[in-house]
């Protein structure tokens, strides 16, 4: 019963370095999401993928790119990391995303990223 798996769990980057956060789900969900969590600000949506082959910007997309590799996998890339991107990153999935319906999300355990 893996659910949503994120790798790595911890990462330290230097300013300007790049990296990709990986996310995979085994629940056959159509929709996947990337959030960042900062103290006192709750979770903010970075990007989402309503279905395989589609991606859309969320609330805070600047400095990030995403790839929906297949139905299971949704990766988040930081091209040139900045200290402001120090955060905890969560991947989530849900059966689908459409008007008038929301099942809620299943979350991964997070990636704690520090940019120095």
Residues near other proteins (CB under 8 A): 4, 31, 35, 40-45, 48, 50, 56, 58, 90, 92, 96-102, 104-110
Pick 19 or 107: Cβ nearer other proteins: 107
The CB density around residue 84, as the number of other CB atoms within 10 Å, is 10
- The encoded tokens of residue 43 equal 């979770």
Report the nearest approach of other proteins to the CB of residue 15 (Å). Answer: 26
Pick 64 or 90: Cβ nearer other proteins: 90
Report the nearest approach of other proteins to the CB of residue 8 (Å). Answer: 14
Cα 18 vs. chain centroid, distance in angstroms? Answer: 16
Pick 90 or 115: Cβ nearer other proteins: 90
- Residue in the block written with tokens 């790049």: 18
- Name the helix (H) or strand (E) containing 68: strand 64-68
Report the nearest approach of other proteins to the CB of residue 70 (Å). Answer: 20
Pick 17 or 55: Cβ nearer other proteins: 55
Nearest to 36 by CA among 105, 108, 85, 74: 85
Nearest to 32 by CA among 15, 45, 19: 45
């Amino acid at each position: 019963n893996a659910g949503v798996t994120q790798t790595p769990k911890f990462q330290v980057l230097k300013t300007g370095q790049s990296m990709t956060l990986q996310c995979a789900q085994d629940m056959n969900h159509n929709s996947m999401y990337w959030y960042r969590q900062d103290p006192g600000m709750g979770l903010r949506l970075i990007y989402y993928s309503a279905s395989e082959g589609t991606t859309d910007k969320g609330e805070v997309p600047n400095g990030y790119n995403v790839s929906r590799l297949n139905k299971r996998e949704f990766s988040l890339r930081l091209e040139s990391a900045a200290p402001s991107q120090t955060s905890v990153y969560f991947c989530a999935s849900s059966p689908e995303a459409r008007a008038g319906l929301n099942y809620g999300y299943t979350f991964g355990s997070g990636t704690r990223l520090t940019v120095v």
